[in-house]
Chains A and B, each alone.
Chain A
Amino acid sequence: EAGVAQSPRYKIIEKRQSVAFWCNPISGHATLYWYQQILGQGPKLLIQFQNNGVVDDSQLPKDRFSAERLKGVDSTLKIQPAKLEDSAVYLCASSLDWRSTDTQYFGPGTRLTVL
């Protein structure tokens, strides 16, 4: 079974630029999560999708971050404009359905460096 795929793996941009990350969850997984992991800390949830709808985005900085999962499969996370403090690893995770299982499967992450 293929795992969660993310791209790119690494990205370096200058502050005020825009960047987008892509995630392809495990086939059949209805729930998709985006996390931000700052160096030396645990992952922090940014947004949770159930199919193509948002379950929780209370911790997403909506002035600069946006995410979508239009067809209920792949998802993109965008930052515009980026700030220095956005430097982190962005992890995507998926689960079969958050209403029936807690087990999440994480992708390898995208390491973002903002200069």
Chain B
Amino acid sequence: GENVEQHPSTLSVQEGDSAVIKCTYSDSASNYFPWYKQELGKGPQLIIDIRSNVGEKKDQRIAVTLNKTAKHFSLHITETQPEDSAVYFCAAALSGGSYIPTFGRGTSLIVHP
């Protein structure tokens, strides 16, 4: 089955800095890669996703890159703000299949004012 590794487990940055979270996956058939933000006491919320036919996707301060050959994808957050502090999860799934996403273990992002 699919295995998703996520690094780092904790990331501490100063407000205004950039943050990068990296994930690798094992199943070359996976073609859908969502990123979720989970705030304390809440469920995960989709913030951006990318499909295997695209190498990069951007949405304001958030961008995701995908390297299919190396089977890794990354989340980039620029100009971080205190409200970006949360746990971020990457996931990999086969879109169009039964869609069973495999999640990484999460990265706790702390943005210091």
Residues of A within 8 A of B (CB): 4, 40-45, 48, 55-56, 91, 93, 98-99, 102-109
Residue from the list B36, B91, B95, B106 in contact with A40, Cβ < 8 A:
B106
* Bound-complex Cα distance A66 to B75 (A): 36
Contacts of B32 in A (CB 8 A): 102
- Would you mind naming 19 contact pairs between A and B with Cβ atoms under 8 Å apart? A41-B106, A42-B4, A42-B89, A42-B102, A42-B103, A42-B106, A43-B103, A55-B98, A56-B98, A91-B43, A98-B98, A99-B96, A102-B34, A102-B95, A104-B46, A106-B43, A106-B44, A108-B41, A108-B43
Q: How large is the interface on B (under 10, 10 to 19, 20 to 34, 35 or more residues)?
A: 20 to 34
Minimal beta-carbon separation of B53 from chain A (angstroms): 14
Residue from the list B6, B46, B91, B106 in contact with A103, Cβ < 8 A:
B46
